[in-house]
Amino acid sequence: MVGTFLVELLQDIPEAPQYELQSLSETGKFEILNNSGNFFLIHGDWDGLRNAAYVRRVVNILSSASQLEDLAASTVLPEGKFFVRFQDSSDCHNSGIEPSIGDMLGGKGRVSFRNPDFVVRVYHLDMWYAGLEIFSGIGKELHARRAPMRPFFSPISIDPRHARFMVNITGTKDGETILDPFCGTGGILLEAGLMGRRVLGNDWSLQMATGAKLNLKYFGVRDYQIGNDDFLKLEISEPVAAIATDFPYGKNSRLSQKNLEQLYGGSFRKFHSILPEGRRAVVVVSERKFLDLATDYFHTEKVFQFRVHRSLTRYFAVLKRK
């Protein structure tokens, strides 16, 4: 569906939602026209946003105007029952004006909160915008794939939303291969596989590798290969378009700090040998200093800091192969 749309983003890891949207726009299927906070106006085909981790909703814009009265006069709604939801990025109006907006849009006798045919979204941003809500995000789907909902899980498994975000910013397309060399229970591979990527995984724990296979099968991912080996000795026999991985942490693995540094340094070197020039590795580390071990092999494009709890901060890094 091609048109002009207003995209409302969630706010989780600072800057991550905007970065994901920008990454998805690099497909060339839509362009970002402008934004006001976490509201982005785009033009083109919005369909690729169905896979976005941080898109809260998408609204098909019907009209825009500098004044609310002009907006109402130029908005033509389809037949059927509806209700209105309003948001203001500058907080100069509140949701109390929703009934009056509904009246201005011809809502008399048509308003229904129980069985609406559509939802009208009205925004006051740089201008006034009115449109029909056409997508409300994938939060329920992601919730259904949380670690406790899988047949095999670990309490330290990466959140599905974060895993989906990582896949989206790799710059990969349908059918391309993503490698997770420390796949654990397979959370990143699961999101990648559900988005049509071919997935390769590895974990030195046989229990984890076996559990990852079980999870992928359970959620319907079929095109995968998962090994159980020391990654630094692993032979990769097919082209890899990107790497996405949540590195082992000292507190949650059998590795000492010194061994972690050796593992990370050796892994970045191996990532460089696997990936073509210009392709990305998206990694999560528990200490930012570990990213210094990648500087000989990768350009650091972006680092996002996310505090999990008082004793654990994670750093999501986008690395581009030199």
Of 103, 135, 167, the domain-final residue: 135
Q: Give the separation between CA 252 and CA 163, rounded to whole angstroms.
A: 19
Average pLDDT estimate for 174-187: 97
pLDDT of residue 250: 62
| Per-residue confidence (pLDDT) for residue 258, from 0 to 100 | 73
Same structural domain, 123 and 148: no
Per DSSP bridges, beta strands 82-88 and 118-124 are parallel
**Judgement on whether residues 195 and 160 belong to the same structural domain of the protein:** yes
Residue 256, pLDDT above cutoff 70: no
Instruction: Measure CA of the first residue to CA of the last residue in the chain; give whole Å.
Output: 37
Q: What is the pTM of this model?
A: 0.94
Which DSSP helix (H) or strand (E) runs through 307? strand 298-309
Q: Does pLDDT of 252 surpass 60?
A: no
Domain check: are 127 and 184 in the same one? no
One domain for residues 152 and 65: no
Lay out the sheet containing 198-202: strands in order across. 224-227, 198-202, 177-180, 242-246, 280-285, 312-321, 298-309
CATH, residue 178:
3.40.50.150
Q: How far apart are CA 227 and CA 202, in angstroms?
A: 4
- Distant-in-sequence, close-in-space partners of 301: CB < 8 Å, separation ≥ 6: 280, 318, 319, 320
Do 271 and 157 fall within a single domain?
A: yes
Decide: helix, strand or coil at residue 231.
helix
Q: Are residues 164 and 227 in the same domain?
A: yes
Domain shared by 192 and 97, yes or no:
no
Q: Which of 135, 165, 193 is the last residue of a domain?
A: 135
Nearest in space to 82 (alpha carbons), one of 51, 57, 105, 63:
105
Please check the confidence at residue 1 and state whether its pLDDT lies above 70.
yes
Share the mean pLDDT of the chain: 94
Query: Do residues 122 and 249 both lie within one domain?
Result: no
One-character DSSP codes across 89-149: TT-SS-GGGHHHHHHHTT-TTTB-SSS-SEEEEEEESSSEEEEEEEE--SHHHHHTTSGGG
Q: What percent of the chain has pLDDT over 70?
A: 97
Q: Which two tokens stand for residue 41?
A: 């106006």
- The one-letter code for the residue type at 89 is S
Residues 162 and 100 in one domain: no
Residue 87, both tokens: 């948001």
Q: How confident is the model at residue 259 (pLDDT cuts 50, 70, 90)?
A: confident
CATH number, domain with residue 69: 3.30.2130.30
Q: Which of 28-37, 224-233, 256-265 has the lowest mean pLDDT?
A: 256-265
Domain end marker among 105, 135, 165: 135
Instruction: Looking at the structure, tell me whether residues 162 and 187 fall in a common domain.
Output: yes
Domain with 69, as residue range(s), is 2-135
Question: Quick one: 171 and 302 in the same domain?
Answer: yes
Total structural domains in the chain? 2
CA distances from 138 to 95, 142, 159, 245 (A): 25, 6, 14, 22
* Percent of the chain whose predicted confidence (pLDDT) is above 90: 87
Residues 17 and 112 occupy one common structural domain: yes
